[in-house]
Amino acid sequence: MMGLLKKIALLIVVLPLLSSCIREEEVTNTPQGNFEALWKIIDEQYCFLEYKQIDWNAIHDKYSKLITNTMSSEGLFEVLGNMLNELKDGHVNLASAHNVSYYDAWYQDYPRNFREDIVEDVYLGKASTDYRTAAGVKYKIFEDNIGYMRYESFSSGIGDGNLDEILSYLAACNGLIIDVRSNGGGNVTNSTRIAARFTNKKVLTGYIRHKTGKGHNDFSEPYPIELEPSNSIRWQKKVVVLTNRRSYSATNDFVNQMSCLPNVTIMGDNTGGGSGMPFTSELPNGWTVRFSASPHFSVDMEQIEWGIEPDIKVDMDKADEANHIDTIIEKARAFLKGKWMPE
């Protein structure tokens, strides 16, 4: 945990220095000036241009033809937003007073593999007394003595006291399901705080690199990221983490950490990715651009920007859905009880 915080602190120091030298000349607050400023910010600071094999110069030529000095603010926003979508990155956003652009095709073309109504009505229960809630985590013990935790967003802060309460309540269970399907991310501090409850020793979970110059390949050496065990209650039994394509950003980070632990199995679909540490800069007209600045790697130094494969691939079955059965939860329960193994 402290190691990761040190890396983030270094990132905070380095990136403003890069931001201060985005361009040699001052740009003007015109459509062309704002276009050039945005293009240059991405050219010098975005961290995946080389990895994604994006010809950013060709992108410049393509979109600069659409810029005119008489275009409206809305028209300029649309062009700039479309240009940023070429990066295919859910961490990239352009925000103005009237709109926010975002890229969502990282999950739109894939099966959802999650039905909130089935989880809420059948597995958690319709009444609030059917399950417990602590700091954004809904949890209960199924009738087969399998514990279940549903965490909808890593933006929901969770403290050590909350985790102590949850794990104490679930302690008698024979196994635990942690459901982070359709969790779009949030604060990585929360992902690390939870993951720390599932290891008894310090574990290497990946690496991070920081941008050190304007070139597309100007990065620092990889800095190791280590998960340190919590000093409080830790889970010692088997765990299954449920994922789908909408498990993104901080959730991607959580799944990566959990995948490094021996008693944990990842089940469901690929996560959506989103491994770049985001940073924000500003255009001359005051619009802000958020983009991926520092790439995060697995323990094998493989990029996890496009997502993490599950240990066991399971999709929702349409017949099960029609009968209000969550295929992935049922497979996880059977797996934890030793009654099912993938072929």
Convert the pLDDT of each residue in 271-281 to its tens digit: 999 999 999 99
Q: How many CB atoms lie within 10 A of CB 33?
A: 17
The pLDDT score that the predictor gives to residue 144 is: 97
- What are the tokens at 166? 């949850």
Q: How many residues does the chain have?
A: 343
The pLDDT score that the predictor gives to residue 129 is: 85
Q: What is the pLDDT of residues 209-234, one digit of tens each?
A: 999 999 999 999 999 999 999 999 99
* β-strand pairing of 132-134 with 203-208: unpaired
Q: What is the pLDDT of residues 73-117, one digit of tens each?
A: 999 999 999 999 999 999 999 999 999 999 988 888 899 999 999
- What are the tokens at 327? 């295929």
For tokens 């910010």, the residue is 41
pLDDT at 13 over 90: no
pLDDT level of residue 23 (50, 70, 90 thresholds): very low
pLDDT at 9 over 60: no
The model carries a pTM of 0.89
Structural domains of the chain, with CATH: 29-106 (3.30.750.44), 114-196+231-271+306-335 (3.90.226.10)
For residue 211, the 8-state DSSP code is: B
pLDDT level of residue 243 (50, 70, 90 thresholds): very high
* β-strand pairing of 175-179 with 239-243: parallel
- Find the mean pLDDT for residues 166-194: 96
Grouping H, G, I as helix, E, B as strand and the rest as coil, residue 255 is helix
The pLDDT score that the predictor gives to residue 26 is: 59
pLDDT level of residue 49 (50, 70, 90 thresholds): very high
